[in-house]
Structure 1
Amino acid sequence: MIYLVRHGQTESNLARRYQGASDSPLTALGQTQARRMGELLNRLVPDTSGWRMVASPLGRAQQTAGIICEAMGGALTPRLDPRVAEASMGSWDGLTLDELEAKRPDDIPYPERYFQSPDGESFDVIWARLSDWLASVGLDENVILVSHGLAGRFLRGIYGKLPRAVLLTLPVPQDAMYCLNGGTISQIDCEPV
């Protein structure tokens, strides 16, 4: 079983900037979202023996994982894995969504904008590294994963064998998590802030 959590709201999220491999600290709301995720996980996983936590090495995911661990009583320590880091758009990381949209060629559908940067990661590269991570999780393992928006879309898409067009339009809430278990994907909402 995998509980997939997106990091809490960041300053860049608030400014509508695509972060990619760049970073931004959690806002006060983001810290509250992370704490509520931890409280929810504490109810879902009252006994953490047999569980491990994995987090992206990017600061926003590490900060979220730390807050979650604290809310769960400190029994887990996140292991960082670069395979679950956010997709990078290279020199386009840090641009606002409007700036990204202005760079998208007219003949490229909106969700494909992530892969148009001349020095960013391609769809296939992102797919390969996240597939590799998913394949490394044993069928009988229990994992709490703290990752990112686009990476989370890929993970759910790969796990659910979803078409590319569907994968790229999946929701990426910061106040809900996803349970990947037995071939199914279910959304678990936190209480609203």
Structure 2
Amino acid sequence: MTKKIYVIRHGETVFHSERKLQGHCNSPLTNKGEAQARSVGAELKKHLSGQNYQVYCSSLGRAVQTANIICEAISFPQLDLLQDDRLKEFSLGAWEQQTISDLVENNPNLLDQRDWYLRAPDCESYESVRNRLLSWLSELPDEQDVVVVSHGLTGIVLRGILQNYSYQDVWLQDLPQDAFFIVENDVAKRVNCKLIEAVA
């Protein structure tokens, strides 16, 4: 099995700042999101020094944008970055581009369950996302560490697979954008990242 997998969520986007759901649609990183990506890159660089690794990312724009910033920070050639559709976020069906407040107005108890996203009409199933992640994992080289830039929900499913979590435990995980996780031997360790502000 791959030695270490570094699981990273993309930075804050315009839709996040507007409290809108994204799913398979996309919005660019905010200034804060770019700063989060730089911060993750700076901290990640310390862990990758001297290691043999490959960087992968979701093919959605916000993940690619984050991965490019991280690649710059860790001195990894952006041309060697591997984009993969299997790392994309859940499709959230009819709820994509909807604001959370509007959804709650129509579904007052919506947020009572941690997996409330999956109640979206035409939402991609948990099993579908899990299966595409298992497919991706099955193709990883044994001899390299892996850096993966993905999404909030897809990221917790991936961490759940790597830690042999139950469905319920998967949804108890947090979805930080100012931290990343190092998964090794079925255990995930959280690494917090101090925000690096843009230089004026």
Q: 1:38 to 1:86 in 2, by over 3 A?
A: same
Alignment-derived partner of residue 61 in structure 2: 59
**Percent identity of equivalent pairs:** 34
CA shift for structure 1 position 104: 4.8
- Is 1:181 the equivalent of 2:196? no
* 2:180 partner amino acid: M
Q: What secondary structure is seen at the aligned counterpart in 2 of 1:111?
A: coil
Distance in 2, Cα, partners of 1:104 & 1:141:
45
Please tell me whether the aligned partners of residues 3 and 179 of structure 1 are also in contact (alpha carbons under 8 angstroms).
yes
Please tell me whether the aligned partners of residues 104 and 116 of structure 1 are also in contact (alpha carbons under 8 angstroms).
no
Please tell me whether the aligned partners of residues 57 and 82 of structure 2 are also in contact (alpha carbons under 8 angstroms).
yes
CA shift for structure 1 position 135: 2.7
* 1:118 partner amino acid: P
CA shift for structure 1 position 131: 2.0
Alignment-derived partner of residue 144 in structure 1: 147
Which deviations, in whole Å up to 9, do the C-alpha atoms of 1:11-60 show, x marking residues without a partner?
11111112110101101111011011111111111235x21100000000
Alignment-derived partner of residue 31 in structure 1: 34
Matched length: 192
Q: 1:107 to 1:37 in 2, by over 3 A?
A: closer
Unaligned runs of 5+ residues in structure 2 are none
- Is 1:89 the equivalent of 2:96? no
Please tell me whether the aligned partners of residues 104 and 110 of structure 2 are also in contact (alpha carbons under 8 angstroms).
no
Question: Which deviates the most, 69-78 or 148-157?
Answer: 69-78
Backbone CA RMSD of aligned residues: 2.0
TM-score, scaled to structure 2: 0.88
Q: 1:103 to 1:180 in 2, by over 3 A?
A: farther
Distance in 2, Cα, partners of 1:11 & 1:108:
22
CA shift for structure 1 position 78: 1.3
TM-score, scaled to structure 1: 0.91
Alignment-derived partner of residue 131 in structure 1: 134
